[in-house]
A = this chain, B = another copy of it.
Amino acid sequence: MAAEGKRNTRQRDVIVDIFFERGVDGHLSLQELLDLVQEVEPGVGFATVYRTMKLLTDAEVAHERRFVEGQTRYELADFGEHHDHLICTRCGHILEFEDPTIERRQREIASDLGVRITHHRHEIYGVCVDLDACNRRLESASA
Contacts and interface: CB of A to CB of B under 8 A. Distances in A.
A37 to B, nearest CB: 24
A80 interface: no
A33 to B, nearest CB: 19
Interface string A115-127: 1111111111111
| Count of chain copies | 2
A88 interface: yes
Contacts of A102: 101-102, 105-106
A128 B114 contact: yes
Interface residues of A, number: 32
Q: Which of A66, A88, A102 has the most CB of B within 10 A?
A: A102
A125 B121 CA distance: 8
B122 A126 contact: no
A143 interface: no
Contacts of A127: 115-116, 118
Given A109-B86, A109-B97, A109-B99, A124 B114 contact: no
Contacts of A119: 125-126
Contacts of A138: none
A123 B120 contact: yes
A50 to B, nearest CB: 15
Interface of A: 66, 69, 86, 88-89, 95, 97, 99, 101-102, 105-106, 109-110, 113-130
